[in-house]
Each structure stands twice: as structure tokens, then as C-alpha cells.
Amino acid sequence: MSRQPVALHAKHPSFAAIPDTRLRTVVVLAFDELLLLNAAGPLEVFAAIPRLLGGNFASHPPYRLVLVSPAGGQITSVSGISVNTLSLEQLDRQAPVIDTLIVAGGPGVSALEASAHVCGWLRSRAASIRRLCSIGTGTFALAAAGLLEGRKVVTHWKFAEQLQARYPALQCQTEGLYLHDGNLWTCAGAAAGIDLALGLVEQDLGPHVALELARYFTVFLWRSARQPQLSASLNAQSRALGTDPDVRLVRLHGWIAANLQSDLRVEKLAEQFGMSPRHFARAYVATTGQTPAQAVELLRLDAACQLLKTTCEPIKRIAETAGFGREERMRRAFHKQLGISPHDYRNQSTGAVRQG
């Protein structure tokens, strides 16, 4: 089903009034034997904005997307799919200013790591790039270029120890889907590249744009560097997998997290699950140990907490975005679950970030 830009603007008037219409050049550095999702995931997020949100974004797309490789031409991913790329020299001629550079990951990254040409190019361009990013093992290429000394990074969990051992001057973190350290953004790889891209969009265009994209791509709201790796949604899914082999329940939690503003009464959830409301409610409690209403409240609370920590949006707007509707309803949930008001939660969270 297609999404109508007009409806989105009616819901979030601020979309149509965003004054920042700069065109930002986003470059993804790819190579033979890359993991295609490392490049395609972030690119799809950026490319979807004009199509999904319309308005000013349709007439002034916020991003120009460029896929490059060291020598240019056709490259072949691990999956056997080939794509065409510009060379680094062609990029230098066509895009003297790069806003955001993303280095993809995959088995072929070892060739980038060992390439004096690529490492030299990364060093020469790094100082003028606003944001330097890597997906998964793309971190190795940035480290080989000497750009990560003293920096905090994350990479795919399987290669974290190897990265730290090979480049001891950096600080490889073991938790988090992605990490934002100044102008450096790194992530765990594959699907985490979508989370990273949503974080970049949130920084540029605001939280509501990022949330609409997250809902379209049916992923949870972007995660901050300090957020625990497991969200309320993932915890709910883990409980379901640990007690019941029915994968429908796991998928239901993902659907809830992607539709927090929808009608999530037990009747609607039962419809998604393919059961009667009465039988669904009983089965849900038996499987997860909580009622459907409690699960929905926790997922909405999780989304509200992230917005309070990572944005300056008014609390009333956050209550709407997270699906609570009214500010008072969200306040009651905060007091019940956390023993604190949304206002105090924001003050404590942002205070901790400033002190950290």
C-alpha cells in the first residue's frame, strides 16, 4: 500500500516547513566482495525521503547519493550481484565536497585495508568530510588509514577483538548497534546500517522524519550510542522465543514497535495474530507473563524515552509520536513504570550525557 505525502504533512506540519534545503552529498565506498546490504540499507533510507514525505523534500531532495569503488566500474558483492560505481578520481572531479562518507563492510574490505591508494585517499579527504562512517568491518579500512586513533568505535561482534588487537590505539566497544563519537559514526554491520542511517537523518532533518522512515522500513526507532543493545521490543521478542516456538508472536512485537501510533487494543492485536481477542489475550499472558496492554505500554515508553534523551521535541509532541496520544497518559505511564515524570527523565538523561 502506498503512503500519501499529503497525509504525512497533515499529521506533522513541521515536515513542510523545514528550512534546511541543502543538498548533502553522501558517498558509499564499496568494493568487490562487499556485503550488499551494507551499502544498500543506508542508501535506501536516504533515497526514500522525497518519495515518502513529499513537500519540500520532493522539490529539494536533501541527499545526493554516490556509490564509489577504488577503481570504479562494475563490482561484485558476496551474493554475486554486480553494481556500477564511480572511481575515486571521478568522485574527486564530480563531488569536491563530501558531506558524509560511509565505508561498507564485507570480506573484500581487506583489500581496502591493504591499499595504500585507498588509505591515502581517505586521509586526504577526511579533514573536509563532515561525517565519517563505517558499516561493520568497514571500520578496518578507516583504522588502516590512521583515522581512528583514540576514537571509540563499534564493529561486527565477530571481529571486535581482531580490530582491537590490530589497532590498539582505538577503543572498540562491545555493546551497541551503532556508536556516534563526534563526527565519527560506526555500527555493527548489515541491518545496523539502517539504524545508523536513521541516526544521520535524525541529526540532519529531525526526529519525526527519522521516525516516519523507521516505520516505513518496519524497524524500531533509531538507537543512541548510550542505549542498551536490547530494546523493549527485542526483550519482548526474546521472551517469546524462549517460551514459545510460534514465530508469529515475535513478528507481532516487531509490528507493534513499527506502528506505535496505531490502534493497539487487544482486538487489533488479536486480528494481526489471527486469533479471537479472548484466546489471544490468554495465550499472550501465558507466553510472555504480561498482558498485551502492558507490552504495548512498555514499547511506547521505550520510544518516548529515546525521544526525550535524543531530541528537544516538546513533551506533548513526543506523547503523540510514541503513541500515547495525550501528554497526561504518557505521564502516568512514566510514573507507574519508572517512578519519574517525563520532564524529570529528560533532565536526568541529558544531564548524564553532558557529564559523560
For the segment 196-246, what is each residue's pLDDT rounded down to a tens digit?
A: 999 999 899 987 788 788 878 876 544 444 444 334 554 554 444 444 445
CA–CA dist 250, 236 (Å, integer): 8
pLDDT in tens, 239-267: 444 444 456 666 787 788 889 999 999 99
Spatial contact of 47 and 202, defined as CB atoms under 8 Å apart: no
| Distance between CA atoms of residues 271 and 292, nearest Å | 13
N- to C-terminal Cα separation, the chain:
44
Are 88 and 124 within 8 A, CB to CB? no
11-30 mean pLDDT: 64
| Sign of the C-alpha dihedral computed for residues 175, 176, 179 and 185 taken in this order | positive
Summarize pLDDT for 122-174 with one digit per residue, the tens: 999 999 999 999 999 999 999 999 999 999 999 998 899 999 999 999 999 88
How confident is residue 108, by pLDDT bands cut at 50, 70 and 90?
very high
3-state secondary structure of 206: coil
What CATH number does the domain located at 5-216 have? Answer: 3.40.50.880
Q: What pLDDT was estimated at residue 247? A: 62
Least confident of 74-78, 225-229, 285-289: 225-229
pLDDT value of residue 288: 79
Share of the chain above pLDDT 70, in %: 83
Residue 66's identity, in one-letter code, is V
CATH of domain 232-355: 1.10.10.60
Q: How far is CA 20 from CA 15, 23, 63, in A?
A: 11, 9, 12
CA distance 213 to 220: 10
Domain residue ranges in the chain? 5-216, 232-355
Question: Rounded to an integer, what distance in angstroms lies between the CA atom of residue 182 and that of residue 51?
Answer: 30
Question: Which pLDDT score is estimated for 13?
Answer: 32
For residue 142, which amino acid is it?
Answer: L
Reduce the DSSP state of residue 71 to 3 states and report it.
coil
- Cα-Cα-Cα-Cα dihedral sign, residues 155, 161, 162, 166: positive
- Residue 129 gets the label, from left (phi > 0), alpha (psi -120 to 50) or beta, of beta
3: confidence class by pLDDT, cuts 50, 70, 90: very low
Considering the entire predicted model, what is its pTM? 0.64
